[in-house]
Amino acid sequence: MPRKRVLCTEDDPDSRDMLVLLLSNNGFEVLCATNGNDALELAKTEHFDLLLLDNWMPELSGVEVTRAVREFNTTTPIVFYSGAAF
- What mean pLDDT is predicted for residues 60-81? 94
Strand partners, 49: none
Of the candidates 12, 19, 38, 13, the one whose C-alpha atom is nearest the C-alpha of residue 79 is 19
pLDDT of the residue at 58:
77
pLDDT in tens, 17-58: 999 999 999 999 999 999 999 999 999 999 999 999 998 887
pLDDT > 90 in the chain, percent:
74
Domains for the chain: give ranges and CATH numbers: 12-81 (3.40.50.2300)
pLDDT of the residue at 49:
98
**CA pair distance 2, 55, nearest whole angstrom:** 29
pLDDT of the residue at 10:
92
